[in-house]
C-alpha cells in the first residue's frame, strides 16, 4: 500500500506535462485521482488509462478553472465519484509570452485568469470540504519566474508571484483546521510550454542552471506527493524551488 492509500486528489491541468507526472505519481502512491483538463480529452483519458493499468483509480473531468462555476463542478464531480476530496493540486497554467511593449490586455487577462484566478476558484470550491473534515492538502505549482521575474513573461511572472502571497495567506487562514498550503516553484522544465523556445535561448538557460540541465516533469512530481503526505503535516506556507539551482 502507498503512503497516500485511499486519499482523493484533484490535479488541475492533469493531462500533460507536469500535471500528468503528478497525476501518475499520486496514483502510484495510492491516491484516487481526478484528472482535470480544459480541452484535450484524449490526453486526459490516456492518463486515466495509464493509472488503471497500474491498478489505480482515476477519472477525467473537463473544466476551465478560470471560471468559478467550472471549479465548483470539478469539486462536485470529484465528491460524486469518490465521496470526498483530500488533496488539491493547482497545476493548470498557460503562457502568452511577449515583451511588455507588445503584450495586449487579452494576453495579460488570459494568463492571470487561468494561472492565478483559477487557483482562487479551486481553493474556494474545495475549502468547505477541507474545513468540515478538518483535513486538506493544497499544493500549487508556481515558478521561479514568480520569484525573480523573466523577460517576456510579465503576465506569467505576475500570476506566479501572486500565488506566493495567496498560498501564504491560505496557510494562515486554514491552518487551524489542519489544512496545509504550499507552493512548488519549478525552474525550466521540458514540457509543451517550453518546447517552442529557440535552441539558442535554451543554451543560455542551461548555462544559468548549476545542475546543467533542464528539469523533467518527474523531477517535480515527487515533491508534490511528499507535500500531500502525512510526512509533510507540519509544513505549510512554504515556497519550495525545484529548479536545478536556477534561482540561487
Evaluated on CA atoms 18, 19, 24, 29, the torsion sign reads: positive
Task: Tell me which of 37, 82, 135, 156 is the catalytic residue.
Answer: 156
Q: What is the DSSP string of 121-168?
A: HHHHHHHHHHHHHT-EEEEEE--THHHH--TT-HHHHHHHHHHHHHHH
Alpha-carbon distance of 72 to 148, in angstroms, equals 33
Q: φ and ψ at 139, to 5 degrees?
A: -125, 120
Cell numbers linked to 29: 502512491
Which DSSP letter does residue 33 get?
A: E
Check: CB of residue 56 under 8 Å from CB of residue 104.
Answer: no
Cell numbers linked to 212: 546543467
Angle at 194 between CA 189 and CA 198, to 5 degrees: 125
Residues contacting residue 61 through CB under 8 Å, at least 6 positions apart? 34, 35, 36, 37, 73, 74, 77, 78
The verdict on whether 82 is a catalytic residue reads no
Residues contacting residue 105 through CB under 8 Å, at least 6 positions apart? none
Residues contacting residue 8 through CB under 8 Å, at least 6 positions apart? 31, 32, 33, 34, 78, 82, 83, 84, 85, 86, 87
Q: Which residues are catalytic?
A: 156
Amino acid at each position: 500500500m502507498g503512503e497516500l492509500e485511499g486519499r482523493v486528489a484533484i490535479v488541475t491541468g492533469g493531462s500533460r506535462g507536469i500535471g500528468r507526472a503528478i497525476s501518475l505519481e499520486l496514483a502510484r502512491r495510492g491516491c484516487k485521482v481526478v484528472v482535470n483538463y480544459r480541452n484535450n480529452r484524449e490526453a486526459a483519458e490516456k492518463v486515466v488509462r495509464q493509472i488503471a493499468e497500474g491498478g489505480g483509480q482515476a477519472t477525467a473531468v473537463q473544466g476551465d478553472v478560470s471560471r468559478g462555476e467550472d471549479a465548483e463542478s470539478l469539486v462536485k464531480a470529484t465528491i460524486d465519484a469518490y465521496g470526498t476530496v483530500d488533496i488539491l493540486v493547482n497545476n493548470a497554467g498557460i503562457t502568452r509570452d511577449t515583451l511588455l511593449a507588445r503584450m495586449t490586455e487579452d494576453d495579460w487577462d488570459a494568463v492571470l485568469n487561468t494561472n492565478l484566478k483559477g487557483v482562487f476558484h479551486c481553493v474556494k470550491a474545495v475549502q468547505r470540504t477541507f474545513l468540515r473534515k478538518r483535513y486538506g492538502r493544497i499544493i500549487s505549482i508556481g515558478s521561479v519566474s514568480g520569484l525573480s521575474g523573466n523577460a517576456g513573461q510579465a503576465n506569467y511572472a505576475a500570476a506566479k508571484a501572486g500565488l506566493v502571497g495567496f498560498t501564504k495567506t491560505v496557510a494562515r487562514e486554514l491552518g487551524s483546521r489542519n489544512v496545509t498550503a504550499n507552493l512548488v516553484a519549478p525552474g525550466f522544465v521540458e514540457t509543451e510550454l517550453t518546447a517552442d523556445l529557440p535552441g539558442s535561448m535554451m543554451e543560455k538557460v542551461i548555462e544559468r542552471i548549476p545542475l546543467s540541465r533542464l528539469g523533467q516533469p518527474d523531477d517535480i512530481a515527487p515533491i508534490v506527493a511528499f507535500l500531500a503526505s502525512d510526512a509533510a503535516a507540519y509544513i505549510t506556507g512554504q515556497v519550495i524551488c525545484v529548479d536545478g539551482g536556477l534561482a540561487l
